[in-house]
């Protein structure tokens, strides 16, 4: 890390308090901002990658839920037909 990045390391904050991060960013000099930009871009890329992975998992879960609902409906329908034959 460069000296500029050590001067104002971003504090751990709550996602509910973005103003804390904005205030810290506003207090940084141009040199500090330029030094931190690659780190911020890398963090953003990592978040986007994780988000894509999570979206894929969500899509798979939706497909599984739809398949399970269709299977359940088919089984119920078959069960109802069986009950109708027994009466």
Q: Is the pLDDT of residue 3 over 60?
A: no
Question: In terms of pTM, does the model score above 0.85?
Answer: no
Q: Distance between CA 75 and CA 66 in Å, rounded?
A: 14
Q: Is the pLDDT of residue 81 over 60?
A: yes
pLDDT in tens, 29-64: 999 999 999 999 999 999 999 999 999 999 999 999
Sign of CA dihedral 70, 74, 75, 76: positive
| Percent of the chain surpassing pLDDT 90 | 61
Structural domain boundaries in the chain: 3-86
Query: In which band, very low, low, confident or very high, does the pLDDT at 28 lie, cut at 50, 70 and 90?
Result: very high
Alpha helices in the chain (DSSP H): 3-7, 18-26, 30-86
């Amino acid at each position: 890390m460069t000296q500029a990045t050590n001067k104002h390391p971003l504090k751990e904050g709550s996602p509910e308090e973005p103003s804390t991060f904005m205030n810290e960013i506003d207090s940084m000099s141009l040199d500090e901002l330029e030094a931190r930009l690659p780190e911020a871009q890398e963090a953003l890329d990592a978040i986007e990658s994780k988000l894509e992975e999570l979206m894929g998992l969500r899509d798979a879960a939706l497909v599984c839920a739809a398949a399970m609902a269709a299977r359940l409906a088919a089984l119920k329908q078959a069960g109802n037909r069986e009950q109708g034959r027994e009466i």
